[in-house]
């Protein structure tokens, strides 16, 4: 649990998440900001990994800007087949997150496919397994918030991502940029010059890779470069996907209000399929206790006054990792 972290560890983890330096000696830079030695920084990071708090340090890309298409898929699976179906789906390289949830639609996963692939065809193929009864594909219509940073000093996740994120068009990357994406999505080594190490492994030059990282971040293709934490180990042990039914005209304002809440890390408008699935506004809500989670959901409902609500608690995490791009092109 993050509650036993020392103050200096919290400071370092916040910097690793939110202000990671894109220069040749980032760990030295972080140490100077904190008034530490570089060795003190490099000694602490493996400890965070060992306790399961730190997943990796890497670039987080905007999937759509890279030309990939993605969707959230919900399956209703016969309970006795749930683990087998989830295991099979988890082997697909385009599936990055997969969860069992407390609902008739009891298996949920995200699927992303490269530009030339057929997204619906891939989703339907994954659903054609023994025990799958129904499938819904719920692509994003509008993004209000994506902020997977977790505040270790305050009361909730989301440390300042603006609401109502503008939809940026996909781009066609040059081959050299694809090489940079492949390199920057790798977990950053714990060495004095980590980008040099990444560059050598990819057959690139350090200065070119760093220039590309800064350029891709400035244009929004890289949404963030930094540490990815496991929210349960960061102290957010109560988590749920909450979905609301709202009139179409109410969604923009409701999405902004939900996105502004301290407990919300992700907020989207997604496709809906009434009456089977009437919910169109989705949020990931995180809290430090079940009571705090329930209070946060109630606060959100008081603000947006939905017509109906579905709170889908996670029953099992089957797969959770960063999407990997352009691995087979």
Point out which residues pair with 145 in neighbouring strands.
267
Q: Mind giving me the DSSP string for 234-302?
A: TT--EEEEEEEE--GGGHHHHHHHHHTSTTEEEEEEE--BTTTB---EEEEEEESSHHHHHHHHHHHHH
Could you report the per-residue pLDDT of 282-315, keeping only the tens digit for each? 999 999 899 999 999 999 999 999 999 999 999 9
Nearest Cα to Cα of residue 213 among 15, 26, 12, 11: 26
- The pLDDT assigned to 133 comes to 98
Percent of the chain predicted with pLDDT > 90: 83
- Kindly report the average pLDDT of the chain as a whole number: 92
Give the CA distances from residue 110 to residues 173, 176, 240, 313, in Å, rounded to whole numbers and listed in that order: 23, 28, 16, 16
User: Is residue 261 flagged as an active site residue?
Assistant: no
Options 7, 97, 261, 266, the catalytic residue? 97
Tens digit of each residue's pLDDT (9 = 90 or more) over 24-52: 999 999 999 999 999 999 999 999 999 99
- Quote the DSSP letter at residue 163: S
- Structural domains in the chain, CATH included, are 69-162+232-320 (3.30.70.3460)
**Confidence at residue 22, expressed as pLDDT on a 0 to 100 scale:** 98
- pLDDT by residue (tens digit) across 53-62? 999 999 999 9
Say yes or no to pLDDT of 229 above 70: yes
Record the pTM. 0.88
Largest CA distance in the chain: 60
């Amino acid at each position: 649990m993050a509650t036993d972290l020392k103050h200096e560890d919290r400071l370092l983890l916040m910097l690793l998440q939110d202000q990671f330096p894109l220069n040749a000696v980032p760990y030295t830079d972080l140490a100077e900001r904190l008034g530490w030695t570089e060795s003190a920084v490099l000694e602490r990071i493996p400890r965070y990994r060992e306790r399961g708090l730190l997943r990796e340090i890497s670039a987080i890309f905007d999937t759509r800007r890279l030309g990939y298409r993605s969707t959230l898929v919900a399956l209703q699976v016969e309970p006795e087949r749930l683990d087998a179906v989830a295991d099979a789906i988890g082997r697909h390289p385009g599936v990055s997150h997969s969860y069992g949830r407390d609902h008739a639609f009891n298996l949920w996963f995200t699927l992303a496919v490269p530009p030339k692939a057929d997204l619906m065809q891939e989703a339907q193929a994954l659903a054609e397994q023994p025990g799958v009864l129904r499938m819904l594909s719920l692509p994003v219509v509008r993004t209000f918030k994506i902020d997977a940073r977790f505040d270790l000093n305050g009361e909730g996740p989301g440390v300042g991502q603006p609401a109502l994120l503008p939809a940026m068009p996909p781009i066609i990357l040059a081959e050299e940029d694809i090489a940079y994406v492949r390199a920057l999505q790798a977990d950053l080594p714990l060495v004095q010059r980590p980008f040099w190490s990444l560059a050598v492994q990819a057959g690139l030059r350090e200065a070119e890779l760093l220039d590309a990282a800064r350029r891709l971040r400035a244009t929004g293709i890289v949404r963030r470069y930094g540490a990815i934490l496991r929210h349960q180990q960061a102290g957010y042990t109560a988590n749920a996907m909450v979905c609301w039914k709202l009139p179409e005209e109410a969604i923009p304002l409701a999405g902004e209000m939900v996105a502004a809440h301290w407990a919300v890390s992700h907020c989207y408008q997604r496709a809906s399929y009434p009456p089977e699935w009437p919910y169109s506004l989705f949020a990931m809500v995180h809290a430090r206790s079940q009571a705090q989670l329930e209070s946060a959901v109630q606060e959100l409902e008081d603000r947006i006054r939905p017509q109906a609500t579905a709170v889908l608690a996670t029953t099992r995490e089957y797969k959770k990792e960063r999407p990997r791009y352009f691995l087979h092109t």
